[in-house]
Amino acid sequence: MATSKGNGGWAYLESRKNLTGSSCGLAGVVLTFTGVSGPYWPVVVAGLYGAGALIAPPERTAPPDFPDPSAQLDEVRGDFGRLRAYLAGVELPPAAGERLGELTGLLEALLEPGWVAEVLAADPDGVHTVSRAVRQDVPEAVDAYVRARWWTRMTPGQQPPERHLERQLALLHEEAERLTAELRETEARRQESHTRYLEDRSG
pLDDT (tens digit per residue) in 121-163: 999 899 999 999 999 999 999 999 999 988 777 666 677 889 9
Query: Which ranges in 92-160 belong to alpha helices (H)?
Result: 94-111, 115-121, 124-132, 138-154
Using alpha carbons, select from 136, 138, 130, 141 the residue that is nearest to residue 74. Answer: 130
Q: From the CB of residue 177, how many other CB atoms can be counted at a distance below 10 Å? A: 13
- Kindly report, residue by residue over 90-123, the tens digit of the pLDDT: 999 999 999 999 999 999 999 999 888 999 999 9
pLDDT at 72: 83
> Which of the pair, 120 or 43, is modelled with greater confidence?
120
The pLDDT, as a whole number, for residue 182 is 94
Q: Give the pLDDT band of residue 66 (cuts 50, 70, 90).
A: low
